[in-house]
Structure 1
Amino acid sequence: MNQLIGEFDCKLDAKGRLMLPVLLKKQLLDVERDGLVVNRGFEKNLVIYPKKVWDETVAELSKLNMFERKNREFVRAFQRGAMPLSLDAAGRVLLPKTLVEYAGMESDIVLACQLDKIEVWDKKAYDNLFDDVPENFAALAEEVMGGKHKGGADGE
């Protein structure tokens, strides 16, 4: 799967339909054939997965020991509200009303590509995320990524 890139300001129409931006649609090579899946994000947002990425994620979830309560609770919460999406003839997807309400979305939204997924945010909520950006982003980068080795398999 190609890594998705970009941040797109969009609008939901009165029926909850979203027109996928052309530059994003070009990155989703098999979307018309395979479709997409949308579910709740970890914050008050939605996440759109290309179907192949969703299937890989669910395959990982299926490896969890379902006899453990925390695993069942996580799977249940993760899949809550998940719905398949498909493009209509005009290149739009219909976001389920319950998910739009969960994320507090109004008309103005942001599609923010995150590796192989697309986060969908209410525009105001997305902008507010960056009001709390750590004061020292470089220190956060060092903490999160500093231990990663650059180079080949031997860490050089």
Structure 2
Amino acid sequence: MAFFTSEYECKLDTKGRLVLPAKIKANLPEVSTHELVIRRGFEPNLILYPMLEYKKIHARIAALSEFNAEQRKLKRTFFRGIAQVELDNAGRILLPKAMLAHAKLDKEALLVGMGNYIEMWNPEVFNEYQLEDPMEYSDLAQKYLDE
């Protein structure tokens, strides 16, 4: 199982390639070391999954009914926002142009470990989605973790 935490500042080259930090590569399951999946995030970001983690989500989305209009819409939107990428010999992944635009990525990216996946953000946009108030952070932790 993948285990990603922390945040990493990364550079994108002019072709839209990003070098994965060594600590992220080290946490990729051996089966998925070269096969990764990128998804457009719900916010203006990208989500990077090892193939094993993506397959779990894929199975859930694929199981939705093609006969239900709402479920079809979810499937269509989800699957059109997916790209399979591979690590090259230099440890880089090529991010598709449409995905770069969705996440407003240009020269810099902030990678944030989210447990079993990684979020990719434009560093300036990321700040808009952060909790700034320690009490709000505490309240959310209590609400969702204190059972």
| TM-score under structure 2 length normalisation | 0.90
Q: Is residue 32 from structure 1 mapped to residue 33 from structure 2 by the alignment?
A: yes
Stretches of structure 2 lacking an aligned partner (at least 5 in a row): none
User: Are positions 1:2 and 2:23 aligned together?
Assistant: no
Q: Equivalent residue of 1:136, what SS?
A: helix
- In 2, Cα distance between equivalents of 1:59 and 1:131: 32
Aligned partner of 1:93 in structure 2 is 93
Q: Which amino acid aligns with 1:32?
A: T
Please list the CA deviations of residues 52-111 of structure 1 after superposition, one character each: whole Å capped at 9, or x if unmatched.
111111111122222111111111112223111101111100000110011111211111
1:136 Cα deviation from its structure 2 partner: 2.5
- Which structure has the bigger radius of gyration? 1
Matches within 5 A, 1:131-142: 135-142=135-142
Q: Does 1:66 align with 2:66?
A: yes
* Deviates further, 132-141 or 122-131: 132-141
Equivalent position of 1:12 in the other structure: 12
User: Is the 8 Å Cα contact of residues 108 and 122 (structure 2) preserved in structure 1?
Assistant: yes
Distance 2:80 2:23 in 1: 29
Write the distance in 2 (CA, Å) between the matches of 1:110 and 1:36.
18
User: 2: distance between equivalents of 1:137 and 1:87?
Assistant: 35
- Can you give the 5+ residue segments of structure 1 that lack an aligned partner in the other structure? 149-156
Amino acid at match of 1:47: I
Give SS of 2:52's match.
helix
Which residue type is aligned with residue 106 of structure 2? E
Greater mean deviation of Cα atoms: 41-50 or 24-33:
24-33
TM-score, normalisation: structure 1: 0.86
Judged with a 3 Å threshold, the aligned counterparts in structure 2 of structure 1 residues 11 and 115 are, in CA distance, closer, same or farther, namely same
